[in-house]
Amino acid sequence: MIKLFKALAAGLYATGVFLRNLMYDVGLLRSMCHRVPVVCVGNITVGGTGKTPTVEFLVESLLVLGHRPAVLSRGYGRRTKGYLEVTCDQPFINTGDEPMQIKMKFPTIPVVVCEDRNMGVERIMKEHPQTDIVIMDDGFQHRSIRPTVNIVLLDFTRPVSSDHFLPLGTLRDERRQLRRADIFIVTKTPGELSAEQKAAVAESISLRDNQQMYFTTMSYGALRPLFAEDVMAWDEEDGAAVVFSGIANPLPFEKGVGEQCKVLESVSFADHHVYTVGDMKRVLKVRSSYKAEKPIVVTTEKDAVKLSGNSKVPEELRGVLYVLPMRLDFVGGDGRELIKDIYNVIEAD
């Protein structure tokens, strides 16, 4: 019965998405262009496909090349509305966790949250006229704005070819809209991919001759303490950890921690979860059940943003809390070709 209800709801959702796309396709609704190049990093599913690490890679690469990028996001989960520029001293609840994470990594660039993407770009150019490229986080479905470059992320572990519309599956847009993409980045791939595996992915989305595709994986840096003062040291050869996270898919994170120490137990919260005192007590209770192993506690960079200035984090947890850094790695390359492809699309626009 529940599956039937979800199927009916998915049908209604699919109809609404189809009609909205149709109005843009036939010109009843129009998309707005901007004088500054806008690079959209998006997807057609809900859940973690790796947009934030991709945005961070693009920002870092563009800065190295001498560009002056800005980042525009909706700021999912924030308790504010309208246009807001992110600063490092704001509470994350005003900005959203992912924009705050990006700002803390790149404090010199403008990071802005705004539901109206067109207004967001215009305000960025008015208030930061030196900006020469805008990275739009999660905007593929926002067809009121026409990005210069559309980058669509695909999760290797969740093929869209066999997925269904919400709430039956994770699709939030039609598969045929993938034709609007300029570049695909397949995330969460195994370390090695055969030519046959790559060809199968390309065939599953009907990759066109004018579309480029890259395959990536996540790599993890050394664990670092979130609170440097009086943090408990851990044994890099025989250490143990309890992990917790509030992300869409915690399995890759847990695997990353497992590469550096023994994971005793994992505590999962909903994506974009706002932590409470009770949540922290729950994590500590799990840790206390492994007293003999003296485990550290490890969380994600995204969750660390919500905890770094949080008075709700008890001293006992502050003294054992570590963060696992992560970054996007390209299978068989270093990402320079991706930047070249972005340039090519911008120049051809």
Question: Are the beta carbons of 100 and 133 closer than 8 angstroms?
Answer: no
Give residue for tokens 């149709």. 22
Instruction: Give per-residue pLDDT as tens, 239-293.
Output: 999 999 999 889 889 999 999 999 999 999 999 899 999 999 999 999 999 998 9
Structural domain span for residue 26 = 2-219+330-348
* In a shared domain, residues 80 and 184: yes
The pLDDT of residue 237 is above 80: no
Closest CA to 334 of 212, 213, 214, 220: 214
* In a shared domain, residues 210 and 262: no
Instruction: Give per-residue pLDDT as tens, 6-55.
Output: 999 999 999 999 999 999 999 999 999 999 999 999 999 998 889 999 99
* In a shared domain, residues 168 and 251: no
Residue 321: predicted pLDDT: 95
Number of domains in the chain: 2
* In a shared domain, residues 302 and 341: no
The pLDDT of residue 230 is above 80: no
Q: What is the CATH number of the domain that holds 170?
A: 3.40.50.300
* In a shared domain, residues 110 and 188: yes
CA pair distance 251, 260, nearest whole angstrom = 15
* In a shared domain, residues 263 and 134: no
The pLDDT of residue 72 is above 90: yes
Q: Is the peptide bond before 167 cis (omega within 30 degrees of 0)?
A: yes
Question: Are the beta carbons of 220 and 241 closer than 8 angstroms?
Answer: no
CA pair distance 133, 148, nearest whole angstrom = 10
* In a shared domain, residues 292 and 275: yes
* In a shared domain, residues 211 and 79: yes
Going by C-beta distance under 8 Å and a sequence separation of 6 or more, which residues neighbour residue 200? none
The pLDDT of residue 192 is above 90: no
Question: Are the beta carbons of 298 and 245 closer than 8 angstroms?
Answer: no
The pLDDT of residue 236 is above 80: no
Average pLDDT in the 306-323 region?
87
* In a shared domain, residues 39 and 149: yes
Instruction: Give per-residue pLDDT as tens, 135-154.
Output: 999 999 999 999 999 999 99
* In a shared domain, residues 194 and 257: no
* In a shared domain, residues 67 and 150: yes
Residue 156: predicted pLDDT: 93
Residue 310: predicted pLDDT: 66
